[in-house]
Chain A
């Protein structure tokens, strides 16, 4: 629930940013409703603001979201039913809902994944609408330290995942890969490349 509030506040800040960079009122809300992935939306809005082309904004946002390919593969076995149903339900996958649902050992809790996604979606879209329409009451989310709340959440969800040598080795290797690539690769790529750390598990078994 408090994560929902954090997501709501981030939604507000995205709405504020998008409005201030001249995206208008409707486009930011449509973007939150269809993209539902904060980092990519912030990146796209910043690039459009800096006078970047649509292509540059698209490239940055898609690179940031490529991680959803491995993420969605990791939970693929939870989704049953007809393809259209799987398509709709898969849109509830977002970093926070996926991390909350992780049970360790490659298992994920389907109800938690979809439940958290269902809670966070209106928080994100509603927050964006509030930010676009309402405005400056909140101020800069960085002032509230909200940008540190998300890595802290991911850290808290990572710790129980670290049972076993392989998991620990994969986490350390992934962190090293990601940090090493930050200065040399566009944002988004370090996280995608870090997924290669799971190859540590290949030889055994």
Chain B
């Protein structure tokens, strides 16, 4: 097997296992209230981390580039209570426009 296939197979298997971890090991069971309270905070925590890393991280560097302007524009339009997809489109359009300058 080439290194490409070795990587493809092992990464695929590892990802399948990670995604299955919760549903297969805990599946369908109600979690204790205490754990529930923590798990309830996972969504805002992980979403916030995804937002800042995808906006400001480039490999191992924190960089300010056109993405930040796009996401900031999306944040501004979200304040106007527009549909999510309008905000997402604004982010892409603003970012693309700045890169085209």
Interface of A with B (CB < 8 Å)?
Answer: 2-3, 6, 22-24, 27, 30-31, 34-37, 40-41, 44, 48, 53-54, 57-58, 61-62, 65-81, 83, 86-87, 89-91, 93, 95, 99, 102, 104-107, 142-159, 161-162, 166-168, 170-175, 177-179, 182-187, 190-191, 194-195, 197-202, 204-205
Interface of B with A (CB < 8 Å)?
Answer: 3-8, 10-16, 18-31, 33-34, 36-57, 59-62, 66-67, 70-71, 74-75, 78, 84-85, 87-97, 99-100
> Taking the nearest CB of chain B, how far is it from the CB of A177, in angstroms?
7
Q: Are B28 and A2 in contact (CB under 8 A)?
A: no
Residues on B with beta carbons closer than 8 Å to the beta carbon of A79: 22-23, 27-28
Q: With contacts defined as CB atoms under 8 Å apart, how many contacts are there between chain A and chain B in the complex?
A: 324
- Majority secondary structure, A binding face: helix
Q: Are B78 and A190 in contact (CB under 8 A)?
A: no
Most chain A beta-carbon contacts within 10 A, residue among B22, B39, B56, B100: B22
Q: Are A175 and B49 in contact (CB under 8 A)?
A: yes
